[in-house]
Amino acid sequence: MPILKDARIEINSVVMSTDANQVGLDLNAEEQDDTAFGDNARARLSGLQDPGLSVGFNQNFTNGGVDQLLFALWSAGAVVTCKVRPTTAAISTGNAEYVGGFLPSKYTPFGNSVGDAAKANIQWPYGSGTAIARNTV
């Protein structure tokens, strides 16, 4: 099992890996009930895909830092392209890059206790209407 320690995270063409400390890509699809009279168990179909992206950051309030970029994206409210892969190495079959358009609808610039290191978080739903791409070349 690989240990995730060198993930590459690109948000709106800005590589933010060195500021990040957590990344999650949830690949979900709605479940549609297809059960009919006479069935002895539930039947389901896969519905619309509904992926989500979450990233945790070590906060940086300086010019050009995490806060400046993420606040601007949240304020604009437009779908942005995000790319994530397990390592910073080249894209390959063993280092696939996941690409999609996410809506920056939630940004938590801080929410820590006294004495804690400042952390920031994003939780963005998918927003482009097209499928997530998994690139291996």
Do residues 70 and 56 touch, judged by C-beta distance below 8 A? Answer: no
The candidate with the shortest Cα–Cα distance to 52, out of 136, 125, 128, is 125
pLDDT tens digit sequence for 11-67 = 999 999 999 999 999 999 999 999 999 999 999 999 999 999 999 999 999 999 999
Is the pLDDT assigned to residue 84 strictly greater than 80? yes
pLDDT tens digit sequence for 88-131 = 999 999 999 999 999 999 999 998 899 999 999 999 999 987 78
The candidate with the shortest Cα–Cα distance to 82, out of 66, 56, 102, is 102
Query: Using alpha carbons only, how large is the chain's radius of gyration in Å?
Result: 18
User: Distance between CA 66 and CA 51 in Å, rounded?
Assistant: 23
- pTM for this one? 0.89
Q: Would you state the structure tokens that stand for residue 19, as one six-digit string?
A: 């500021």
- pLDDT score, position 79: 96
